[in-house]
């Protein structure tokens, strides 16, 4: 018996029964296609970010991506901690307790929790001469460690100091830092404790 590759000229009429209908597309396949298309639209809407080339896999939309960006306004305490640990912590300690003979403590210090205008002046221009912190006398010189920081970073690091290690102060804003920076102008001379006490 051999199989003819050519298609028959007319339907074979041998009387052989065809148990299945000739090649109609079953309706359920079309229904399933439209269900899948509907699902696909929804899926793409939820995950595809509408062809935005800036949105990558774990994020689903530009809005979600922007939600995770670091805030541009307001105070970012995480940023403050990072700046503190890279700029201040070498002398004042990661725990803010200071180091004997090197730097006074910041935790619970009246100079940290006192008026903001007084505090901002210290990193901007430095501090020299005798000073009493937490009832203990210190006589050291601190350079102007914060002069090179931006207003936002300095505000963040000071806010971090005023709210960490048991300190319960208010946050410092970038505007407050900017105002003090303008007030002291090009001053290169470090402040003394007596001078600072006149600032309210």
Partner 1 sequence: MVSPEAKAKAAAGAPAIDAGSAEETVSCRWPLLVLFLGAAGWLVAGSLLGLLASIKFHSPMFLAEPAWLTYGRVKAASAALLVYGFCVPTALGVGLWLMSRLGRVALAGPVVAGFGGGLLHAGVAVGLVGVLRGDGTGFLHLEFPAGAAGLVFLGYLLLGTVGVLTLYRRREARMEAAQWFVLAGLFWFGWIYSTANLCLLVFPVRGVAQAAINYWHTGNLLGVWMGLMGLGTVFALLPRLAGREPGREYVAMFVFWVLLLFGSWTGIPATAPLPAWMPALSTVGTVLSGLGVLGVAVIVHQTLAGRYGSVWRDERLRFLGLGVAAYVVGGVMQVVEALSGRSWMLHFTWFTAAREWMQVYGYLALVMFGTVYAIVPALVGVDWWSRRFLRLHFWLAGAGLLFVAAPLAAGGVVEAARLLNPALGFVEVSRGTLMFLRLSTIGELLILAGNGLFFVNLAGTVAGICRRALADALRRWGAETTGEGAAA
Residues found near partner 1 in the complex (CB under 8 A): 1-8, 11-12, 19-26, 29, 32-33, 36-37, 39-40, 43-44, 47-57, 59-60
Question: Which CB atom, from 16 or from 168, has the smaller least distance to partner 1?
Answer: 16
d(CA 178, CA 155) in angstroms, rounded, equals 9
Are 70 and 79 a contacting pair, CB within 8 Å?
A: yes
Characterize the bridge pairing of strands 136-142 and 127-133.
antiparallel
Question: Which CB atom, from 26 or from 185, has the smaller least distance to partner 1?
Answer: 26
CA-wise closest residue to 190 among 115, 124, 119 = 124
d(CA 41, CA 106) in angstroms, rounded, equals 57
Least Å from the CB of residue 71 to partner 1: 23
Least Å from the CB of residue 132 to partner 1: 51
Are 127 and 119 a contacting pair, CB within 8 Å?
A: no
Question: Which CB atom, from 31 or from 148, has the smaller least distance to partner 1?
Answer: 31
Question: Which CB atom, from 69 or from 188, has the smaller least distance to partner 1?
Answer: 69
Least Å from the CB of residue 78 to partner 1: 24
d(CA 85, CA 174) in angstroms, rounded, equals 19
d(CA 169, CA 112) in angstroms, rounded, equals 8
Least Å from the CB of residue 2 to partner 1: 4
Question: Which CB atom, from 64 or from 132, has the smaller least distance to partner 1?
Answer: 64
Least Å from the CB of residue 69 to partner 1: 16
């Amino acid at each position: 018996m051999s199989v003819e590759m050519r298609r028959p000229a007319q339907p074979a009429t041998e009387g052989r029964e065809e148990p299945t209908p000739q090649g109609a597309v079953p309706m359920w396949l079309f229904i399933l296609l439209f269900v899948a298309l509907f699902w696909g639209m929804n899926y793409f809407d939820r995950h595809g970010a509408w062809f935005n080339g800036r949105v990558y896999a774990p994020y689903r939309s530009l809005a979600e991506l922007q939600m995770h960006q670091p805030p541009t306004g307001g105070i970012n305490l995480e940023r403050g901690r990072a700046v503190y640990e890279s700029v201040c912590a070498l002398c004042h300690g990661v725990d803010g307790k200071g180091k004997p003979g090197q730097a006074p403590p910041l935790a619970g210090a009246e100079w940290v929790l006192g008026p903001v205008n007084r505090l901002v002046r210290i990193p901007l221009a430095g501090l020299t001469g005798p000073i009493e912190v937490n009832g203990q006398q210190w006589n050291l010189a601190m350079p102007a460690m914060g002069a090179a920081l931006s207003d936002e970073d300095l505000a963040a690091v000071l806010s971090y100091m005023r709210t960490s290690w048991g300190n319960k102060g208010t946050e410092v804003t970038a505007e407050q830092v900017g105002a003090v920076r303008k007030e002291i102008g090009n001053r290169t001379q470090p402040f003394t404790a007596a001078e600072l006490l006149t600032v309210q």
